[in-house]
């Protein structure tokens, strides 16, 4: 008799079979891959035993017999020798144009614009940031497949919480180029919370302070019985350990009186020495900075106090973001039970001391800050692949900036507020503005300001085929759907006819890092100004609608009015038009109300005529 094989819902049909799923931390400075083996999440090593892979790719010159590229430690070793073709910190270029990459001129390789996107000039041709990242991801993929001697089923890839749609989409594109099935993109702080929470059985409110090589994130999470709820998130996608290195290098050159323009090799050498000195100062009272620049050898003794002073502005920026995200979460710093430190840059003593003094307790550092993100991503990947029997793991992540559409007058109608849990779907009904309107143009925007001009444009599309009706009769439902990766799609449907249009938002590369960091700050700083501007625009839109409706009514039934009444209406409309051109919202509202009140008897006469025409010639029983 044949035996039926029974499996748990969501589990593999073969209980002895296991899908190979990994978590990948694609970092600015270095990257890692981790997987759950024997019930434990662990980082997978290369053949040489090292788990860290420097996020560096060197392209070789085909004309000189070179073929292919070097990746990781081999490429890092050649950075000073061949800086123009050795690409590091490529994560900062993902989803960006050249003009919107901070300190792009300080990079040792050449970045140019191509179709609005930053690309890198190399001896092997132009390379997009996605292609470079794909080389790193493919190396990690091969490492995983070698470790398990099996094909990779999929991966959970982590991204900074403050990555926007363009940067997230670029990350997914890079994974596709590397032949990786992306199970999900999750925010780095959330991945760290998974690793920390499951390892320590922690519950309560925790802060995740994530300072990597090129990005900074701060998130407030509530951990309750396996539910990871992100209460608020913030940060700076253009701040990381690289900035500390550059600040230290600039300080040393200033102390030595070097003001000459450095060559690419000198810049790479100075940056590498600055990183070495920074790391050494974590455990020593002083360190000597040595480099050959501008034709001479320089030496400068650096103390921890010197380092802290020349980088103080960056540390202060992280704490400003911390205060802001605490306000967003509605949490006092004393309610935070622990601060989890993530990212290699949190090894700096000044960071740990500053964070500890602010929260009044030592930060949690019992997990390796370099590995914790990849470890958490591996746990999530294992669950999504159906290997995990822990059904109680639930992620409630959030979006960092509000999403909405443009309405009449250039106003923003927010559909999905910032810090909304994802995945999510939100809908709102809109209508037409003019009689007989058969199409509606929709403009999708992202940001916290009330005017479209102050927000970021994401996409535009048109809903066509709306049956001609009087203004305001159509009912158009606009639905925003944000998936688990934080990527957006928008649909519009006219409820009566069923005509529908939709767009998967893949925004053009173009939001500057400064804009991302400043959007929330601007929304608070200009709140009163935005309220006044919105009130003025709304008043003008209402005035235009009132004038248009009155003119339509007069064109149809002006014979119901006495000449004096018609003159009064014309005068009131002219007065309203003049007032609407001004800047006083209250005056516009009063003028609109005056015209509306004056036309009420005319509206009643029009309604009576309409009823009479509808009943004319009909018998009572027909009615």
Catalytic residue positions? 25, 91, 188, 210
Laid out side by side, the sheet with 456-464 consists of 411-416, 403-407, 439-446, 456-464
For 202-208, the CB contacts below 8 A with 24+ separation are 202/337, 202/338, 204/337, 204/338, 205/231, 205/331, 205/335, 205/336, 205/337, 206/336, 206/337, 206/338, 206/339, 206/340, 207/322, 207/326, 207/336, 207/338, 207/339, 207/340, 207/359, 208/339, 208/340, 208/342
8 A C-beta contact, residue 181 and residue 192: no
Nearest CA-CA partner of 172 in 487, 510, 509? 487
Nearest CA-CA partner of 47 in 116, 139, 127? 139
**What's the rounded Cα separation, in Å, for the pair 114 and 503?**
24
* Phi, psi for 218 (deg, rounded to 5): -135, 125
Find where tokens 């809109």 sit. Answer: 430
Query: In this structure, what token pair is assigned to residue 621?
Result: 């029983």
Nearest CA-CA partner of 26 in 165, 149, 130? 130
**What's the rounded Cα separation, in Å, for the pair 10 and 388?**
9
380: part of which helix (H) or strand (E)?
Answer: helix 372-384
- Burial of 307 by CB count in 10 Å (0-12 exposed, 13-18 middle, 19+ buried)? buried
**What's the rounded Cα separation, in Å, for the pair 302 and 304?**
7
**What's the rounded Cα separation, in Å, for the pair 576 and 544?**
9
**What's the rounded Cα separation, in Å, for the pair 36 and 379?**
6
**What's the rounded Cα separation, in Å, for the pair 208 and 213?**
16
**What's the rounded Cα separation, in Å, for the pair 204 and 568?**
67
């Amino acid at each position: 008799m044949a035996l039926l094989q029974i499996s748990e819902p969501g589990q593999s049909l073969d209980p002895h079979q296991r899908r190979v799923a990994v978590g990948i931390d694609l970092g600015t400075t270095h990257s890692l891959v981790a997987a759950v083996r024997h019930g434990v999440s662990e980082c997978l090593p290369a053949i040489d035993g090292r788990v860290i892979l420097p996020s560096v790719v060197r392209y070789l010159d085909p004309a000189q017999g070179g073929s292919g590229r070097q990746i990781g430690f081999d490429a890092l070793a050649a950075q000073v020798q061949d800086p123009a073709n050795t690409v590091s910190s490529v994560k900062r270029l993902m989803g960006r144009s050249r003009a919107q990459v901070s300190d792009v001129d300080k990079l040792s390789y050449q970045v140019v614009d191509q179709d609005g996107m930053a690309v890198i000039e190399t001896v092997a041709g132009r390379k997009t940031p996605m292609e470079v990242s794909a080389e790193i991801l493919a190396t990690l993929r091969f490492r995983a497949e070698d470790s398990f001697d099996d094909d990779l089923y999929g991966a959970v890839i982590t991204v900074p919480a403050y990555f926007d749609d363009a940067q997230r989409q670029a990350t997914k594109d890079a994974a596709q180029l590397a032949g990786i099935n992306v199970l999900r993109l999750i925010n780095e702080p959330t991945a760290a919370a998974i690793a920390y929470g499951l390892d320590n059985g922690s519950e309560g409110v925790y802060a995740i302070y994530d300072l990597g090589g090129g990005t900074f994130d701060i998130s407030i999470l509530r951990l309750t019985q396996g539910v990871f709820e992100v209460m608020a998130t913030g940060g700076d996608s253009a701040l990381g350990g690289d900035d500390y290195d550059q600040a230290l290098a600039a300080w040393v050159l200033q102390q030595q009186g070097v003001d000459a323009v450095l060559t690419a090799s000198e810049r790479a050498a100075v940056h590498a020495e600055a990183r070495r000195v920074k790391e050494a100062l974590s455990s020593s009272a002083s360190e000597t900075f040595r480099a050959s620049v501008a034709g001479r050898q320089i030496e400068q003794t650096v103390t921890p106090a010197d380092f802290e002073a020349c980088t103080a502005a960056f540390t202060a920026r992280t704490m400003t973001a911390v205060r802001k995200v605490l306000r967003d979460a509605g949490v006092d710093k004393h309610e935070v039970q622990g601060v989890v430190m993530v990212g290699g840059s949190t090894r700096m003593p000044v960071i740990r001391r500053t964070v500890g003094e602010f929260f009044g307790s030592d930060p949690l550092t019992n997990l390796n800050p370099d590995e914790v993100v990849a470890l958490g991503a591996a746990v999530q990947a294992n669950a999504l692949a159906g290997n995990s029997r822990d059904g109680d793991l639930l992620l409630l992540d959030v979006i960092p900036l509000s999403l909405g559409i443009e309405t009449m007058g250039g106003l923003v109608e927010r559909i999905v507020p910032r810090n909304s849990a994802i995945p999510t779907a939100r809908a709102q009904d809109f209508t037409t503005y003019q009689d007989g309107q058969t199409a509606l143009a929709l403009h999708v925007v992202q940001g916290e300001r009330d005017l479209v001009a102050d927000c970021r444009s994401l996409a535009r599309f048109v809903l066509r085929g709306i049956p001609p009706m009087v203004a305001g009769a159509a009912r158009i439902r606009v639905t925003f759907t944000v998936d688990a990766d934080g990527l957006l799609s928008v649909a519009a449907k006219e409820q009566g006819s069923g005509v529908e249009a939709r767009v998967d938002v893949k925004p053009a590369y173009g939001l500057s890092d400064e804009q991302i960091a400043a959007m929330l700050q601007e929304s608070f700083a200009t709140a009163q100004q935005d309220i006044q501007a919105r009130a003025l625009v709304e008043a003008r839109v209402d005035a235009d609608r009132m004038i248009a409706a009155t003119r339509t009514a007069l064109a149809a039934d002006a014979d119901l009015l006495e000449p004096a009444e018609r003159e009064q209406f014309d005068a009131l409309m002219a007065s309203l038009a003049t007032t609407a051109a001004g800047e006083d919202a209250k005056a516009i509202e009063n003028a609109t109300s005056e015209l509306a009140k004056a036309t009420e008897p005319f509206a009643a006469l029009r309604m009576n005529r309409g009823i009479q025409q509808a009943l004319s010639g009909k018998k009572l029983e027909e009615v």
